[in-house]
């Protein structure tokens, strides 16, 4: 299943700088997009979402951008904090369904 | 803050044995899900459950799998005859409302090891 990809398995960022995590998808039926964060030995925790009618959604330090024509989704975290160090998953759902298709995840390390 | 709970945290079983993984979703939620993550792979959808019946299932969810909501609080996943390839983290999730695209709330997972 290659419908959802996160091409960077890992990312290291200095504390205070911006973290940019990317997600690409192939199926134009996806219309709702979410980002989850996962710590070891815990389940995914919801961060932020965006529907296909928007191109940006902001919540505090977290902003999600959606480029439907490029089928590309990104999560910006600014400023990055050491507590943000975790694995980040994009998760997408299709029209008429509510199960989520997950990306492979990007491990973010924020260096103090 | 309400949360999804799962038991056990780790289950070890012999190939061919039946296992039941248990979940207590958040109390006012209406949709329930099981996902799994094989080590090093993506989180994959297994099944969703609404109004006491399966609403969607993936190709992974074959006849060896079943789900049940035996009472008002528990949501279980049964694997009838486990295989080595069933070894994975199994996550339960729940969602509050119908008709809206709310986020799903995940439990901490059960690690299933099939020997």
Domains belonging to chain B, first-starting first, are: 5-114 (2.60.40.10)
CB atoms within 10 A of CB B103: 20
Closest among B64, B84, B73 to B20, alpha carbons compared: B64
Q: What is the mean pLDDT of residues A49-71?
A: 96
Whether B66 has a pLDDT exceeding 80, the answer reads: yes
- Beta bridge partners of residue B92, listed in sequence order: B34
Tell me the pLDDT of chain A averaged across its residues: 94
Q: Which band of pLDDT confidence, cut at 50, 70 and 90, is reported for residue A1? A: low
* The pLDDT value given to residue B99: 61
Q: Cβ separation of A49 and B101 shorter than 8 Å?
A: yes
Q: How far apart are CA A98 and CA A83, in angstroms?
A: 30
Domain count, chain A: 1
Q: Which two tokens stand for residue B47?
A: 């099944």
* Contact B45/A at CB under 8 A: yes
User: Model confidence over B85-115: pLDDT tens digits?
Assistant: 999 999 999 998 766 667 899 999 999 999 9
Q: What is the mean pLDDT of residues B68-82?
A: 92
Q: Which of residues 52-81 of A touch B (CB under 8 A)?
A: none
* Contact A11/B at CB under 8 A: no
User: Model confidence over B12-48: pLDDT tens digits?
Assistant: 999 999 999 999 999 889 899 999 999 988 899 999 9
Domain extent, residue A104, equals 4-111
Residue-by-residue DSSP string for chain B: ----EEE-SEEEE-TT--EEEEEE--TT--EEEEEEE-TTS-EEEEEEEETTEEEEE-TT--TTEEEE--SSS-EEEEESS--GGG-EEEEEEEE--SSS-PPPEE---EEEEE-
Q: What CATH number does residue A88 fall under? A: 2.60.40.10
Give A37: exposed, middle or buried? Use CB within 10 Å, 0-12, 13-18, 19+: buried
| Residue B38 contacts residue B87 (beta carbons within 8 Å) | yes
């Amino acid at each position: 299943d290659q419908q959802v990809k996160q091409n960077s398995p890992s990312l290291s960022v200095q504390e205070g700088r911006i973290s940019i995590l990317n997600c690409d998808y192939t199926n134009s039926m996806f219309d709702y997009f979410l980002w989850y964060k996962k710590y070891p030995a815990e389940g995914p925790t919801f961060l932020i979402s965006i529907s296909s009618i928007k191109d940006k959604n902001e919540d505090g330090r977290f902003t999600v951008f959606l480029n439907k024509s490029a089928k590309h989704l990104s999560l910006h975290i600014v400023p990055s904090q050491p507590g943000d160090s975790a694995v980040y998953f994009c998760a997408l759902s299709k029209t008429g369904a509510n199960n989520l298709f997950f990306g492979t995840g990007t491990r973010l390390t924020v260096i103090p | 803050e309400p949360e999804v709970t799962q038991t056990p945290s780790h289950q070890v079983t012999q190939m061919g044995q039946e296992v039941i993984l248990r979940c207590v979703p958040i109390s006012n939620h209406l949709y329930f899900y099981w996902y799994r993550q094989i080590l090093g792979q993506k989180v994959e959808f297994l099944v969703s459950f609404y109004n006491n019946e399966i609403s969607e299932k993936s190709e992974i969810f074959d006849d060896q799998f079943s789900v049940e909501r035996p009472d008002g609080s528990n949501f279980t996943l049964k694997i009838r005859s486990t295989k080595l390839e069933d070894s994975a983290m199994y996550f339960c999730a729940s969602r509050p409302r119908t008709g809206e695209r709310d986020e799903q709330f995940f439990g901490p997972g059960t690690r299933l090891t099939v020997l």
